[in-house]
Structure 1
C-alpha cells in the first residue's frame, strides 16, 4: 500500500466501531486518520473519541472530499438519501458499504460513473474479531482498492470473496444463522432447567458445550465425522438423533435459510 489512508465512517454504530477498531488493531501502520460521524448522538461520538482517539464529527460532508475511503455504516433504507448527498462529493474516494442488500451495482448506479465501490457483509461476531465476512467489489476497483478492502475485513475476522449474487444468497448462512444457533442454545438451556438445574448452571453447561464443540469442528473440519464419533449405534445419542431425523431437522434448517433469503430479497434495494 503506497500511502496511509484517511478513512471516513458515516455511521457510528456497533458495526462501524468493530470495523475501525479492527483497523486500528491489525493495520494501524496503514492508517493516517479515522473520522467517525454521527448526526444525532454527540455522546456516542465522545465515547468513541475517548476510547479509540479517532476524530469525530456531526457533519460528514466537510470530510468527504478529502478522505481516501468512505465506509457507509448506515441502515439499507438510509442509503438512497445518503448516496444522493454523497454523489456530488465523490471523485477518487473508495466507497464501501456494510449494509444488507446494498450491492456494488446499486452503489454504482447512484454514484458518478467510474466510482470505485465495494460491499462487505459481516456478521455479529465482528464485534469480537470473529466474523466470517462476505465481500465483493465493483467494476472499477484497482489492486490498491482490493488491498484496502482486504485490510478492512481482516480487522474483524475471516472473509470470503464472493460475487454480488452469492452474497445475496449466502447472507442467511453467515449473517442470520447465528440467531438460529443462539435459539438452539436457548432451547438446550430450557431443556436443562426442566431437570431442576438452575439457570446460571444451565447456561454455563450449554455454552461451554457449544464453544468446545465449535473448537473441535474448527479443528477437524468434518461435522459428519464428529457426529459419528459421538454416536454409538443403538446408544443414547443415537436415540436423540433419531428424533431429530424423524422431525426433519435438516429440512427445517433449509427452510429457515430459504425463508430468510426470501425476506431479504424483498428488502433488497432494486435498480
Structure 2
C-alpha cells in the first residue's frame, strides 16, 4: 500500500503469522507497522520471529496501535476478544475478521455503532504466498476499506469479493480445501508406494502432479473435464484409473466434503451469535 498504515492482529497463531509475514515480504507494510496480541508466549514468540513485528499479551494495545485490526481467533473466542477492545475502538479503524462462520453483523454487534467490518476467508497456503481468499463487506465498510483489504490479501495469493451469503460455501471450498488436497496427495503417494516407488519420490511426484494440474486449469482456461480427456487415451492406463475413481465415488465424496464443511460454517455462526450487549466503555 502506498499509504503508511499500522496493522494489528488479535490472535498470533499460524494464520496470523502467515498473513502478516506475507504483507511484510510483499512490502505492503514494514515490521515496524505490525503488532499482534496473544495470551500464549509461544505464539507471540513465533509471530515475532516470523514477521519481525511487535507482540503483546493485551488486545487493547493492538487496538490503540493499529489502523486496521485483523481478528484471528477461534469462533468461540471472538466475543471475548471484541469486548476487550470495545472501549478502545476508533471511528477511523477497520476490523478484518478471519473467524470462520461469524457474520459481519455479529462482529459489528460488539463494536461501537457504525463499526467498519470486513470478513475474509483465507487459507493456509498463505504461508507460501498462494492463498485463495474471498472477502465480503459489512454494512459500514467503505470502498477504501475494500481496496485496502484486497491489496493486503492479494499480497499472499488471490483475493475476490463475494456476497456474504457465499462465505460459508467459500469456507467449505477454499477455506477447508487445502486439507482435501493434502489427503489426495497422500493417497496418490500411498498408491505409488504400493506400486513400488519410494515414499520420498512418490510424494514429490504426487505434489508436483497436483501443482501442475492446478496450473493447467488456471493458465489454459479450459474446463477441467476437457483437460482430463486430454490425458485419457482410449483403452489406456489413465481411463482405467479414472474408472477406479468413479467406482470409489470420488466426485460425490469430494462434493459431500465441501457441502459438509459449508454446513458446519453456518452452524458455527448460529452457535456464536450475539448473546448480550457489549460492556459500555
Length-normalised TM-score, structure 1: 0.90
Q: Work out whether 1:206 is the aligned partner of 2:216.
A: no
Name which of structure 1's ranges 71-80 and 216-225 shifts more when overlaid on structure 2. 216-225
- Which blocks of at least 5 consecutive residues in structure 2 are unaligned? 275-281
Aligned to 1:57: 56
Q: Distance in 2 between matches of 1:214 and 1:169?
A: 20
Name which of structure 1's ranges 246-255 and 124-133 shifts more when overlaid on structure 2. 246-255
CA RMSD in angstroms, aligned pairs only: 2.2
Aligned to 1:265: 266
Q: How does 1:22-171 map to 2 (within 5 A)?
A: 22-28=22-28, 33-41=33-41, 43-92=42-91, 93-171=93-171
* Cα pair 1:12 1:36 within 8 Å, conserved: yes
Q: Distance in 2 between matches of 1:97 and 1:19?
A: 12
Q: How far apart are 1:31 and its partner, in Å?
A: 8.5
Aligned to 2:279: none
Length-normalised TM-score, structure 2: 0.88
Q: Distance in 2 between matches of 1:234 and 1:226?
A: 17
Q: Distance in 2 between matches of 1:198 and 1:185?
A: 15
Aligned to 1:216: 216
- Which blocks of at least 5 consecutive residues in structure 1 are unaligned? none
Q: How far apart are 1:152 and its partner, in Å?
A: 2.0
* Cα pair 1:5 1:30 within 8 Å, conserved: no
Structure 1 residues 69, 48: CA separation in 2 closer, same or farther (over 3 Å shift)? same
Instruction: Describe the superposition over 1:175-229 as per-residue Cα deviations: whole angstroms up to 9, x where unpaired.
Output: 1122112111111111111123221222222222222222222221321121111
Aligned to 1:184: 184
Structure 1 residues 3, 227: CA separation in 2 closer, same or farther (over 3 Å shift)? closer
Name which of structure 1's ranges 54-63 and 11-20 shifts more when overlaid on structure 2. 54-63
Aligned to 2:278: none
**Count of residue pairs brought into register by the alignment:** 270
Q: Distance in 1 between matches of 2:137 and 2:254?
A: 30
